[in-house]
A and B are shown apart, each in its own frame.
Chain A
Amino acid sequence: MEKVQLFKPSFSGQRFTDHTLPFDILDDLSVYQDLLLQVAKDIYYQKNNSKRVPNGFGAGVYLKLSQLEEGSTIPTILLAAASFMAGTTDTKSYFEEAQQQITKAIAASQDDSEITGILSTEALSYFNKFGKNLREDEAIDFKPSWNGEAKLTQINRRKIVLASPTATSVESDIMIRGNISALNKDPFQFTFQGRDKSKIIVPIDKANYKTVEQAFLNFESDKRVLIEGVGVYNKQNKLEEIKEIKMIVILDRLDVPTILEGFNNYEDGWLNGEGNPFNKQELLWLSYQFDNYISRDLLLPFTFPMVEGGVQFEWKKGPHDTTIEVNLKDKSAYVHYYNSQSDDFSENTYDVSNLSGWIEINEELLKYFKAKEE
């Protein structure tokens, strides 16, 4: 048995903070093995000016997940084989070069440069499956050996799939918020309007009809819904169809991710000449942190932009008043509690780049701001 370390991808996102890999990500990694073989073959074709690989090329070559490093979700991926020899050809270098090519393609997707010359059409199509299970806040960092970044996110994955001349669309899991601006009974369908006013016509099934109708009847008061399902993105990487609705719910008007999404529209000088635009990825990060770490037993806070570039959450109930100022750059949270009865205040700063900071904040909030008292 021969084995070599191929790469050590770093997974980031809420699901990886406890240093484990969810099962569905293992599905993605198993597709990666097929992708790697395809790219290794493509390199062979090119280097040897051949349309065939030697018999046994890739046979018995497989990837192994070695270990998760302490303190992070960084598995070591090993390239293993009983033998890398295919006849007289040592295939190992082709697989190692394939790894570099895939990393280059991901880096190109990140900085919007040309992808098609890096991977073949066949190889690009593997990205229909590889990375499909990543959620919007998640990324696989391929950590290139050269100076630069190569992070696979859902957005970059779609760019890679759509780079193929044969691809006209790509499917992707979606979690989107917006309004219902029209409702039609024949055929049963509604118009979903995103925050950017883009519209998509979506068929309704009976199970969701009441929710959709309620949202539609309250369109003028900006009643918003959250749709989770499967979407289809067109060649321009724009959502053009909602193929399947797994869940649709009406959102509270204080829904934090909806409000944070609105901060993307803030332009330079939004506060009477002061204030910078927000970074979309940073807002997305905070949305997921809030959705996943802040208890649903709590009252929803008021959410405000900060001129310094952060986000301020404000809770107030009886004499209790807590504000959290989240610094989106260094992922810290300054928590200030004021009690109007005692006239005392306390303050603390937490590292919210990891779960433990959010757990501590949650415990503090649950003391005073439960939506329903037990």
Chain B
Amino acid sequence: MSEQMLFRQVHPSWVVGEGISSQTFKPMPKDKYMLSMYDGDKFSAKESYEHFIAKDLQTSGVLGVTNTEFQAEDLNCSPDDEDFVGHILVDFSNLTKGQARKKAKKLRDAAVKRGWMYVEEKQEQEENETSD
């Protein structure tokens, strides 16, 4: 199977400096323990960001995890075109609380190691100005 990038939007509340909460990769009970991702074959990171904020939802930026990284964690990724084309659901159901948190931490680490796939340009500029 070819490697496919999947994108995850990160809520501003879960970013403090360089710290990104592992909650970013922990699905909620109300989502039936399914983690919502964007299909990297159908969206660029920027497009996923724009698609997300167009729904009046908040995001600080986009992180990426590959389908093989999910599979290495025995997490099944499946398309959910009913919501929108390019929507992927990652199945965390049937995991214990501890297992789900372990996997969330591993996925967060893989994504952070890869770095931000997209952050809003204005924010990026501000970050550069601050570091200069």
A259 within 8 A of B: yes
* A302, B13: Cβ atoms closer than 8 Å: no
| Secondary structure class of chain B's binding surface, majority of residues | helix
B11 within 8 A of A: yes
Question: Chain B, 74-94, contact with A by CB distance < 8 Å: what is the 0/1 string?
Answer: 000000000000000000000
B69 within 8 A of A: no
Cβ contacts under 8 Å, B46 to chain A = none
**Chain A nearest CB: distance from B48 CB in Å?**
15
Task: Report A313-360 residues with CB < 8 Å from chain B CB.
Answer: 314, 321, 323, 334, 336, 338, 340, 345-347
Task: Report B100-117 residues with CB < 8 Å from chain A CB.
Answer: 101-102, 105-106, 109
* A304, B21: Cβ atoms closer than 8 Å: yes
Given contacts A323-B101, A347-B97, contact A314 B19 (CB under 8 A): yes
**Chain B nearest CB: distance from A350 CB in Å?**
15
**Chain A nearest CB: distance from B16 CB in Å?**
5
* A312, B21: Cβ atoms closer than 8 Å: yes
* B22, A323: Cβ atoms closer than 8 Å: yes
* A345, B102: Cβ atoms closer than 8 Å: yes
* A345, B98: Cβ atoms closer than 8 Å: yes
Task: Report A129-146 residues with CB < 8 Å from chain B CB.
Answer: none
A247 within 8 A of B: no
B58 within 8 A of A: yes
Given contacts A323-B22, A345-B98, contact A304 B105 (CB under 8 A): no
* A304, B98: Cβ atoms closer than 8 Å: no
Question: Chain A, 3-18, contact with B by CB distance < 8 Å: what is the 0/1 string?
Answer: 0000000000000000
| Secondary structure class of chain A's binding surface, majority of residues | strand
* A303, B13: Cβ atoms closer than 8 Å: no
Cβ contacts under 8 Å, B19 to chain A = 254, 302, 314
Partner of B21, one of A254, A314, A334, A347: A314
Number of interface residues of B (CB under 8 A): 22
A306 within 8 A of B: yes
A272 within 8 A of B: yes
Number of interface residues of A (CB under 8 A): 27
* B101, A338: Cβ atoms closer than 8 Å: yes
**Chain A nearest CB: distance from B50 CB in Å?**
16
**Chain A nearest CB: distance from B127 CB in Å?**
12
In the assembled complex, the Cα of A257 lies from the Cα of B14 at a distance in Å of: 17
Cβ contacts under 8 Å, A253 to chain B = 17
In the assembled complex, the Cα of A346 lies from the Cα of B102 at a distance in Å of: 9
19 contacts between A and B (CB under 8 A): A221-B130, A253-B17, A254-B16, A266-B13, A270-B13, A271-B13, A272-B11, A272-B57, A274-B30, A303-B16, A305-B13, A306-B23, A312-B23, A321-B105, A321-B109, A323-B22, A336-B98, A338-B106, A347-B101
Residue positions of A touching B, CB distance < 8 A = 221, 253-254, 259, 266, 270-274, 302-307, 312, 314, 321, 323, 334, 336, 338, 340, 345-347
Given A271-B11, A323-B105, 19 more pairs with CB closer than 8 A:
A221-B130, A272-B11, A272-B57, A274-B28, A303-B16, A304-B14, A304-B16, A305-B13, A306-B23, A307-B28, A312-B21, A334-B97, A336-B98, A336-B102, A338-B105, A340-B106, A340-B109, A346-B98, A347-B101
Q: Give the 7 A-B CB pairs with smallest separation, nearest first.
A: A302-B19, A304-B21, A347-B98, A345-B102, A272-B57, A336-B101, A338-B105
